[in-house]
Structure 1
Amino acid sequence: MIVSAAAALSVYLFVNAPPPLAAEPMKQGTVPIRTVFAMLERENDAARALWTEEIVTRGKQVGLAFDERWRDERVVAGPLPALFLRETAHNLERTPFRLGLFLGSPHPINTANQFSGEQAKYFDALVLSGAAQHFVDPSTNLQTAMFPDVAITDACASCHNEHKDSPKKDWKVNEVMGATTWMYPEATVTTERAIELVRALRTSIRRAYGTYLEKVATFPTPPQIGTAWPRDGFSLPSEDVFMRELARRSSTATLLSLLDPEATVLDETAPAPATAVVAPPAMKPAAVDHDTLVIRSTRATKVSVERDGRTLLVARIAAGGVATMTARLPLRVQLGGVDGIEIEYGGRKVPVPATDPSDHSKSVEIAVGEPNQEKS
């Protein structure tokens, strides 16, 4: 049963160093691979956000360096965000699951990452619709999913604009720079296999971070490795601390995706409506309680939610889609623009500031339940 597998996944996702799963047979449900792709993409999004924001951005502020030549023993630096993903993808290739991960672009710095064939066609459709693309690639006969890779910070855009080999020099924040592409041979998997694929991705992320720490150990003046982060000073978290933070950010969404696969598919692939209307009836959530945050969007966008400086959620909302989470106030919601956005908390609408609908160049932060706000 799906519930049985979900219970096993709950143990794996939330408990540090879980014991082996019971050896006794477990009844298996099946999950569409597109749902698994969506789970993996959310995990990957959370890992990339954690690496980019807490290690690279904060690390630079305390003297750590990050460079595309980080593998060179003479370079005292770690991998840039795209190279951290590549390291994760290489680790996935070493697993027995035939799960592929690829970051491609129509304007790549590395020509090996250029989209071609069917992938180029589906990338164009992704940019037009804002929705994830699912298809069977005829060149490989693999189930394939493409998710938009968005420039979420000025650092993302400027790094590409300033690179000598970049064929495009005018990237902007919130622009779709490429796509994260996942590949797998089967259209459906058992719930047990879904757990194994999540485990394989997390293990690959751990190994990528561990490789960075191995490089850090060779620095002339290495930072302290332990429980502290760069935001605390010249420090880096250990593998266990890094992975616990990743689990805290992503485990709830991953578990809910397994419990309700069809909702995940709808959320990730909902087409853009023909006119700017509220989300389709199928996307309307059930009645919310007093501590549920609901974010609806008529266009594809990315959202993050923080409380007291800690990231609670990093999610991608498809055009016409919705994101929900349960959390205590106060919250700060970061959005890639507010055009077509509706926010509710506890069933009450949250005021959204008016901006120029044509200006998507800057992200917008909205405070929910700050002390100076009154709940009507």
Structure 2
Amino acid sequence: MKKTIIITIALGLSAITGWLATGCSKTEIVEVAPPGVSFEKLTDALHMVLENDRTVYTQKVVNRLVKEDKVIKASEHWSEDQALPLPAQMFRMGAELTASKDAWFSYSLQSLWPINKSNAAGQTEVEKKGLEFVAANGGAEPFYGQETLGGQNYFTAVYADVAVAPVCVSCHNEHKDSPKTDFKLGDVMGGVVIRIPMDS
């Protein structure tokens, strides 16, 4: 009887010790885990939403109504022409509306071959390197960098802007101000630049 009690107590203590050891190791893991989301994941998530909205507008609205159904045209002077805004113009209007709301991040569409000169690459050295990087790798992966502007440290990410519909290709190739006129479907036409302040 005494042996049974001693064995039972020993097993109980062993279980408690194991549980405490496991609990401590879990606590240690939680304590060393970095808080929050990385800058890369944050800009990746923002870009996914921006890219999806832009793709849907380009493919399901502009390309369908202009190229396929031929019921309306898209124009730089969309208001005067009673036409659809170009996908790049829609993107810019969204970026400007975001900026007007004092958002803590910014985004823009830029290109090494811009039709609109205000979208020209090289506003900063990091932007230029990023646009050259995504163009060189065909948009296979984004570019991440850091820069200091006006005394503020920023995480800057650049993602490839790809021709997702025939209307993209024809618009750029046929435009009188386009510096590049041999784009094909799937080509990198520019880049989406997302900038986030790194300081709290």
TM-score normalised over the length of structure 2? 0.72
Name the residue aligned to 2:120: 114
Cα deviation for residue 100 of structure 1 reads 0.7
Cα deviation for residue 33 of structure 1 reads 2.2
- Aligned AA (1:186): M
Name the residue aligned to 2:110: 104
**Secondary structure of 1:112 counterpart:** helix
Question: Which residues in structure 2 correspond to 1:244-259 (within 5 Å)?
Answer: none
Are residue 162 (structure 1) and residue 168 (structure 2) matched? no
Name the residue aligned to 2:148: 138
Are residue 172 (structure 1) and residue 194 (structure 2) matched? no
Cα deviation for residue 62 of structure 1 reads 5.5
Distance 1:142 1:76, change over 3 A: same
CA distance in 1, matches of 2:146, 2:116: 25
Contact 2:76–2:85 at 8 Å: present in 1 too? Answer: yes
Contact 2:62–2:167 at 8 Å: present in 1 too? Answer: no
**Secondary structure of 1:183 counterpart:** strand
Contact 1:119–1:137 at 8 Å: present in 2 too? Answer: no
CA distance in 2, matches of 1:170, 1:62: 24
The structure with the largest alpha-carbon Rg is 2
Distance 1:157 1:62, change over 3 A: closer
Contact 1:143–1:187 at 8 Å: present in 2 too? Answer: no
Are residue 67 (structure 1) and residue 75 (structure 2) matched? yes
- Aligned AA (2:90): F
Contact 2:109–2:190 at 8 Å: present in 1 too? Answer: yes
Distance 1:121 1:160, change over 3 A: same
Aligned residue pair count: 158
1:104-130 deviations in Å (ceiling 9; x for gaps) = 001101111111123212222223343
- Aligned AA (1:142): Y
Distance 1:153 1:57, change over 3 A: closer
What are the ranges of 5 or more consecutive residues in structure 1 without an aligned counterpart? 1-28, 189-376
Distance 1:118 1:173, change over 3 A: same
- Aligned AA (1:159): C
**Secondary structure of 1:115 counterpart:** coil
Name the residue aligned to 2:54: 48
Tell me the percent identity. 29
Cα deviation for residue 137 of structure 1 reads 2.5
CA distance in 2, matches of 1:93, 1:156: 26
- Aligned AA (1:138): T
Cα deviation for residue 185 of structure 1 reads 0.6
- Aligned AA (1:137): E
Are residue 89 (structure 1) and residue 92 (structure 2) matched? no
Name the residue aligned to 2:196: 184
131, 140, 147: which one pairs with 2:159?
147
- Aligned AA (2:146): V
Cα deviation for residue 187 of structure 1 reads 6.9
Cα deviation for residue 80 of structure 1 reads 0.9
- Normalized per residue, the structure richer in strand is 1
- Aligned AA (1:85): F
Please report the RMSD computed on the Cα atoms of aligned residues, expressed in angstroms: 1.8
- Aligned AA (1:170): D
More off after superposition, 112-121 vs 135-144: 135-144
Cα deviation for residue 97 of structure 1 reads 2.3
CA distance in 2, matches of 1:156, 1:149: 11
Cα deviation for residue 170 of structure 1 reads 1.1
- Normalized per residue, the structure richer in helix is 2
